Chain A
Amino acid sequence: MIGFILKRLAWMAITLWVVFTASFFLMRAVPGGPLDQERALAPEIEQNLKQRYHLDEPIYRQYLRELGNVARLDLGYSFRLADFRVGEIIAQGFPISASLGIVALGFALSLGLVAGIVSAVRRQTLIDFSLMLLATVGIALPNFVIAGIMIILFVFLVPVFPAAGWGTLRHLILPGFCLGAPFAAYVARLTRTGMLDVLSQDYIRTAYAKGLATRTVILRHALKGAMLPVVSFLGPAIAGILTGSLVVEQIFAIPGLGAHFIQAATGRDYTLAMGLVLIYTTLLYTMNMLVDISYTYLDPRVKLE
């Protein structure tokens, strides 16, 4: 186990370096730079700024300098939000996006698993068809439509939740649901498929032949196997969900990371964009590692490498 984790961490370092290098050069390859603004800067000011951000150096020097900084976990100053270090921006936004993400994940898992299991057990019935229709709608509808519906229902018609803002758990429920809904739909479909697959296995028939109740057969004998596809989906899904969503955060006025992703890219904020890309990669990698580890707990036949 320790060996597996160390190996994975080594790979993660290599991956991060590749991602860093690719992002570094790609960002500088697209036209436009962080100092481009509607009004041209005075030449000497521009020169000063370039010096401050080392943009006047040859590109390989810039690359090595930045690589060195990043390796020391120093992401530097943001170009656009010049008073802030990238580390500070992320440290401020990430916990907010992550809490929203955790609530969303709670919705996705609880709704998705229950709907998937019920659908599979009651397959080919009205319940199954309705739930799967709902899941298709959940995947097809864009976030902002779901958000609109939720706001009409729970802010205007039955005012139980605040329309927007940040601070208490109540502020998290509506945006969490909107963010989690498409994931819930995916989880429901994966659970249903996985469950149907497992329920047709011989060992399920054995379990019924032993006189076990349906509930025991489902929860004890079938659920673990049915969860495997859901767990592999959850790795990347969690990484995405924790790093925030532009749409949901904008609609509900939540100061998370979501907006930064877009602004950093459009504003050619090299340092902030790099920081976000690296955070996302790290998260993705960690989640996939956790998925692999949890596989060995779910399925005794799986060994870590």
Chain B
Amino acid sequence: MHLGGEMLLEVENLKVQFKTDDGLVRAVDGVSFAVAPGETLGIVGESGSGKSVTNLAVMGLVPQPPGRVVDGKARFHGDDLLRMGRRQLAAIRGHRIAMIFQDPMTSLNPFLTVAQQMTEVTRLHLRHSHREALRHAIEMLDRVGIPSPDHRVFDYPHQLSGGMRQRVMIAMALACKPEVLIADEPTTALDVTIQAQILELMKKLQQEEGTAVILITHDLGVIAGTCRRVVVMYAGRFVEEAPCEELFRRPQHPYTLGLLQSIPRLDEAAGTALTPIEGQPPDLIHLPPGCAFRPRCRFAVEQCARRRPPLEGEAGHRKACFVDVV
């Protein structure tokens, strides 16, 4: 891992647990990653693997109770976000680290206009006057491609389509020019053509502003066009980390391999059967000792049941697996 002065956000050994009636859910179990200014890091993994919780924890947004951040550090410019006072953290949220959520239909407040929701961010963090804030909001809406933004800004969310709402979310998140943008499945709830537009828009804005982006998705297709580095998450842990093309060309973890084989490819002959990953997603309350993926893994060896494979490897491509699958 390239920890160093040039990293903007460094997360180290993060552990988050939820107390539920059925038992303790180890939603995030010791993940570490770092993001450099201007880069895009992809986090992929199936539903429930802990992608959202990882990033909510960084933002101090894990609902507590039932959740608890039990260990780890999240250094932003060297200061640990996880041990920061409430005020200090609030000054960073929405200002220097912003977040876009999965479902634009429910993430905007239905009781407030777009203007009210957008201006409150810049009035708070940039000390804009009401008029400045409104002008800025309209400008941002224009930049994210909302037609006649000077009218639309006074709409309520229910008057906008899903794609428009996600554009509003993006405009709102970028309003203060954050250094880090966490996008949690920003396109999952949208249909395919809108998805492409939104991803394109995020890429464009990121390049213009030099924002670092953490892009969370369960869709490898989304990762392919947008990220430089990718981490693959399984059962609360990172199982592989690699530069994007590397990951697609030479996946090293059986789970990544499975993910790649379960998506359709253009360069394969039509009719080639897709191979979904067999078996059940892991039960985070009763994880097996050793590798969490072992019950579903066709490469498993005897060692996998006894010891948890550490995440290691050379030159930016690391995997948590004992077997060489290449």
Contact = CB atoms under 8 A, between A and B. Distances in A.
Interface of A: 124, 201-203, 205-213, 216, 220-221, 224-225, 298-301
A216 B86 CA distance: 14
Contact of A209 (B65, B99, B106, B113): B99
B158 A210 contact: no
Contact of A224 (B108, B111, B113, B172): B111
B90 interface: yes
A211 B91 contact: yes
Given A300-B158, A301-B156, A209 B110 contact: no
A201 B110 CA distance: 11
A279 B125 CA distance: 54
B10 to A, nearest CB: 20
B255 interface: no
Contacts of B121: 210-211
Contact of A211 (B65, B113, B124): B124
Given A211-B91, A213-B90, A206 B110 contact: no
Contact of A206 (B90, B108, B124, B156): B108
Interface residues of B, number: 29
Contacts of A299: 110-111
B109 A206 contact: yes
B156 to A, nearest CB: 4
Interface string B78-114: 0000000000001111110011010100111111110
Q: Is chain A's binding surface mostly helix, strand, loop or mixed? A: helix
B22 to A, nearest CB: 19
A211 B84 CA distance: 13
A225 B106 CA distance: 13
B111 A211 contact: no
Contacts of A221: 109, 111-112
A276 B66 CA distance: 53
23 contacts: A202-B101, A202-B107, A203-B107, A203-B108, A205-B101, A205-B107, A209-B59, A209-B94, A209-B99, A210-B93, A210-B120, A210-B124, A211-B93, A211-B121, A212-B120, A212-B124, A213-B90, A224-B111, A225-B110, A300-B110, A300-B111, A300-B113, A301-B110
B145 to A, nearest CB: 21
Nearest to A228: B111
A211 B61 contact: no
Contacts of B107: 202-203, 205-206
Contacts of A212: 90, 94, 120, 124
A8 B67 CA distance: 49
Contacts of A216: 120
B106 A203 contact: yes
B103 A202 contact: yes
A225 B93 CA distance: 24
Contacts of B112: 220-221
B253 to A, nearest CB: 31
